[in-house]
Structure 1
Amino acid sequence: MTEPTVALLRDAGLLSGEPGALYREWIRWTLASGLTPEQVPGRARDEGVTAGTFEPLAARTVWRGPDGRPYVRVDDARRARELARLAELLNGGRPSLSDPRRDRNTWSYTGLFGLNAGDAGTAVRRGALVATPEGTMMAAAGRRALRAVPNPVDWFAARGGTTWGEIYLVNGSHDDPAEVLRTTVESGGRPPGSGAPSLARLLRHERIHSEQWARYGYVRFIWEYVIRHDPRKPCEHPLEREAGLADGGYRC
């Protein structure tokens, strides 16, 4: 259905010339999201998609899940939000609808859990980061600076990991964090330490946590998650129940 959709985009005045491979891939994933070819020009118009939209991804490292879905490695903190947004769009998502969430979670890109040269700030120094189809990011920490001192991520991530704003932090310290992310993405399995049934379902669960961070704000989310409710009882925790217990790997 790609070629008929390309023709419709041309007829609508939204495409001129020959579309690149990533533009065609955007069409395929947008159709896979449930749209008909006739609806794709409207989506392109709403999201501002042009033939050059995906050019920033051309030189980027792209890892693919078993279903072929693209995940974009983030190696430049200054472009993290842009790459996360493009990864969501390329996968047939609607980043214009999730931009308000990113606006509310803007602290994710700065500060303790913010980005620094591709790492997730102090908490994941020497780590690696990848933009996911959900429009959020997944990070893995590098090795500990000192053998006897825990990596800061180990203080803030529990079980298989924890979401802080827009960043899902895989638990633990890793000699090769980029390889941890790559193998997790390409296998489609759960990250180290997680009990989730699959990476796709886990990221859906964690994206809802990102929405909760945006809804409550930094201070109130911590109050709701850690103080008002007991995080040691996830099956009774309203924020975990909202995010989907099964998707998060909780067996209740």
Structure 2
Amino acid sequence: MSSTELDELYQEWVRWTLASGLTPDQVPDRAREEGVTAETFRPLAGRTIWRDPDGRPYVRVDDARKARELARLTELLNGGRPSVTDARRDRNRWSYSGLFGLNAGDAGTAVKRGALVATPEGTMMAVAGPKAVRAVPNPVDWFTARGGTTWGEIYVVNGSHPDPAGVLRTTVESGRRPPGSGAPSLARLLRHERVHSEQWARFGYTRFIWEYVIRHDPRKPCEHPLEREAGLADGGYRC
């Protein structure tokens, strides 16, 4: 990545940081807090960046080994504070490996042959690829519902898709909800799902499943305390 490209990313960080509500005088302090220089964004060199209708960048994750770093940088580039949200990523570190997380070179067992993108919320969105065998359900269909489900740091869109990267790109560039979701927009949906990521971090793996699936009825989202906390309207629930 050339120095010009790095400068452009740094300038973009300044723009989105100002858009977050800071004044120009506060930007240098934020840069020191987050350790931001033009070199900070060098890991984005050669990465595919999709933009929503407002121009916000989403970075495609094509190497799962870099997933956490890219998620963090995407949040930072969008004017966020990853130094604050790192604690959530630490608690949800299982998201980056294993069945519902990531394996080197792909998006994990549950979304094998899928595609993954880092979002402005510092989380990730995944779309599963086509079924390996037509008669056998894709594992993602066993563990997602309605318009998708968040597992730790990853919001997984429901269903199997022949062109998962195309689904992600279309969703990001249109700013509209992904297939199957009833959310009013992608930005509001990701805000809703980010709260679920915070809940995973707060409760931990086992207790979150207990709270979401056993203690409360997931078939009644309008009465479910975790869905209410995440924002029913943002999630597309009409109560």
Equivalent residue runs for 1:74-113 within 5 Å: 74-113=61-100
Root-mean-square deviation (Å): 1.1
CA contact (8 A) 1:74 1:118 kept: no
Aligned to 1:172: 159
Aligned to 2:211: 224
Which one has a bigger Cα radius of gyration? 1
Runs of at least 5 residues in structure 2 that lack an aligned partner in the other structure: none
Runs of at least 5 residues in structure 1 that lack an aligned partner in the other structure: 1-16
1:166 maps to amino acid = E
Aligned to 1:190: 177
Alignment partners' CA distance in 2, 1:226 and 1:180: 28
* Post-superposition offset of 1:118: 4.7
The percentage of counterpart residues that share the same residue type is: 85
Equivalent residue runs for 1:123-138 within 5 Å: 123-138=110-125
Counting matched residue pairs gives 236
**TM-score normalised by structure 2 residue count:** 0.97
Per-residue CA distance 1:164-219 (angstroms, 9 max, x = gap)? 00000000000010000000000000000000000000000000000000000000
Alignment partners' CA distance in 1, 2:227 and 2:89: 20
The one of 135, 140, 151 aligned to 2:127: 140
Q: Which protein has the bigger helix share? A: 2
Alignment partners' CA distance in 2, 1:223 and 1:84: 27
**TM-score normalised by structure 1 residue count:** 0.92
The one of 185, 200, 205 aligned to 1:213: 200
Per-residue CA distance 1:130-157 (angstroms, 9 max, x = gap)? 0000000000000001111110000000
CA contact (8 A) 1:31 1:92 kept: yes
Alignment partners' CA distance in 2, 1:191 and 1:198: 9
Answer yes or no: is 1:201 the counterpart of 2:183.
no
Alignment partners' CA distance in 2, 1:189 and 1:221: 28
SS in 2 for 1:26: helix
Equivalent residue runs for 1:63-82 within 5 Å: 63-82=50-69
Alignment partners' CA distance in 2, 1:127 and 1:28: 32
Alignment partners' CA distance in 1, 2:67 and 2:45: 15
CA contact (8 A) 1:118 1:129 kept: no
Q: Which runs of 4+ in 1 moved over 3 A?
A: none
